[in-house]
Structure 1
């Protein structure tokens, strides 16, 4: 497991770095693949200690962040949260049979707001990114969205092979957008 620890607004401490590495080592039992973990430890206003982690393993990205008045307590809570997410993910994988559909390539583009607001014929594209959308069940898509801490997720339904969108509603529930045939 590769672990990068960044200290913000606080002194770098080898004891804290070692503590983080020891705590994160226990999540290796949930994922066999190589894991890359980015940990950011920060202190805000001298009393709020924040521990954040982003873990990437086998195409799966998980995030966790916790705040406490003690750095070690914040690290413990952060690791507990990421461990719960991994347990939930592993249990869902056991229940979910492998998908037989094919991945689709999708392109995401960020468009400049003024170019749309002013009615330009060709909106200005600031950035674009291509990625593959893998087939999954609605339940798996919701879980992946939660693990990524996103508000929506585009995925291919593993049964219908249609492109779908699952999103988090303001009331805390989830919504699903399914295309209808013409």
Structure 2
């Protein structure tokens, strides 16, 4: 797995980088060498946020945690990624069958599989608008996200409210 470590508003020490590589090495049994992990560390006031995103063949695992100590946040994020892997055991095994290079270790799967059940489906007309108009519409509806067709690109996009109160825009990637 290729690991990229980014520090925002902080200079990361080499011992922290080594700790990140050591902790992420336990996921080497699950992800191939072509997997990419991006570790972002942000410091604001007395809080340290660690975010880890692992991408492999269109599958994304992501976790984030904030703590007073950087190492504590790292421990929580690695534990959260382990839980995601356990929850998505079936999906990973299907991916393994399609891509024989993935090796799945049984010690990650001590929890039973959770059944994914879609209880409601809704369809609606997707309006053409700008991202700013979509945010206004989302706020008027009191929703956390809103899907729309971007007036510049013509693509389906999603705006959403982030935990910090700001807004995000999801744009499909064309590869």
Give TM-score scaled by structure 2 length: 0.54
Residue 42 of structure 2: aligned partner: 42
- CA 1:126/1:13 → structure 2, altered by over 3 Å: closer, same or farther? farther
- CA 1:7/1:21 → structure 2, altered by over 3 Å: closer, same or farther? same
Residue 13 of structure 1: aligned partner: 13
Which protein is richer in strand relative to its size? 1
- CA 1:89/1:124 → structure 2, altered by over 3 Å: closer, same or farther? closer
Tell me the alpha carbon deviations over residues 29-67 of structure 1, each in whole angstroms, 9 at most, x when there is no partner.
Answer: 22346210111011110x211100111012101110011
Residue 24 of structure 1: aligned partner: 24
Equivalent residues, number: 115
Residue 112 of structure 1: aligned partner: 130
SS at match of 2:88: helix
> Structure 1: which 5+ runs fail to align?
100-107, 118-122, 131-182
Residue 86 of structure 1: aligned partner: 85
- CA 1:126/1:69 → structure 2, altered by over 3 Å: closer, same or farther? same
Give the 4+ runs in structure 1 shifted more than 6 A.
Answer: 114-117
Contact preservation (8 Å) 2:2, 2:33: no
SS at match of 1:30: coil
Contact preservation (8 Å) 2:37, 2:52: yes
Residue 72 of structure 2: aligned partner: 73
2:11 counterpart of 1:4: no
- CA 1:12/1:92 → structure 2, altered by over 3 Å: closer, same or farther? closer
- Kindly report which structure 2 residues correspond to 1:129-144, keeping only aligned pairs within 5 A, or say none: none
d(CA) in 2 for partners of 1:127, 1:81 = 35
Give TM-score scaled by structure 1 length: 0.52
Residue 164 of structure 1: aligned partner: none
Contact preservation (8 Å) 1:41, 1:49: yes
Residue 60 of structure 1: aligned partner: 59
Q: RMSD of the TM alignment (CA)?
A: 3.4
- CA 1:48/1:125 → structure 2, altered by over 3 Å: closer, same or farther? same
Contact preservation (8 Å) 1:115, 1:124: no
Contact preservation (8 Å) 1:111, 1:127: no
